[in-house]
Amino acid sequence: MKLQSTPKPVRFRISSGGQEHSSLESLLSCFDYNELKSLKSQLIQWLERQGPKGNEIAGQLDNCDMMPPFENTIKLFYGHDCETIIKDWFENKSANLRFIDLDLIKNSQRLLTIAYMNKDLMSRRIDDNQWLAAINTHNRIDDIDLLNIKSKIELEIEKNKLRKEYEKKQQEEQRREEELKASKISTIRFRISRPGSIDGWDEITEITGITRKQLLGLYKSGQFCPRIQLNEIQIERLKPLIDDLKYN
């Protein structure tokens, strides 16, 4: 007796956003334009299996040599202009926001404005210089909101520049001060008399070179140590660890 198996129908899927989709509804909830752009031929075949709406989209894509620009593709798939869809994504914190980057929206002044106003919701951090570079691709800015955003970003960049210059100056002054302290040598003598001072003896040894055995003798006798030479930084470290200090 010969048995024959009936092959199961193959479910044709399309990949977008790292997931495979078997329905148009699923694709629209995870719409990665950049990934779909590289799968145009496969996408058309997949859409032809998605009913009247899918066939309509497939037909329009098939008439294009390449994937249409982002804004046109959004309108084709969602049935509304890109501005309306992007606003909706931000308002509802759509998962699709993780696929939005500056390269996709920089050609539209309105989309740039919407995205900047909601930048905290974007999954990819974009710094002020990147925003400004995207805005400056427009020789003329007609969107008053975007014009205000540009002024705000330029002011913030200038403030950051001045702050960094100030911090750098402060660091340089601190470095020079430390160098001056390190170069200023003084001859000193010190005494230790507090019982608790023993906790700092290792550090005293590190600073002065006087051994713990010698420190123990100084502690018991209550005498000042022999004259030693230290710079100002070393003396500042030593002061909290001792009880008396004399400059000679």
In tens, the pLDDT along 28-83 reads 999 999 999 999 999 999 999 999 999 999 999 999 889 999 999 999 999 999 99
Residue 184, phi then psi, degrees to nearest 5 = -90, 105
pLDDT in tens, 145-186: 999 999 999 999 999 999 999 999 999 999 999 999 899 999
- Beta-carbon contacts of residue 164 (< 8 Å; ≥ 6 apart): none
Q: What is the mean pLDDT of the chain?
A: 92
- What is residue 131's three-state secondary structure? helix
CA–CA dist 201, 21 (Å, integer): 71
pLDDT (average), residues 102-131: 95
CA–CA dist 179, 26 (Å, integer): 65
Q: What percent of the chain lies above the pLDDT cut of 90?
A: 87
Closest by CA to 146, choosing from 107, 97, 111, 104, is: 111
pLDDT at 2 > cutoff 70: no
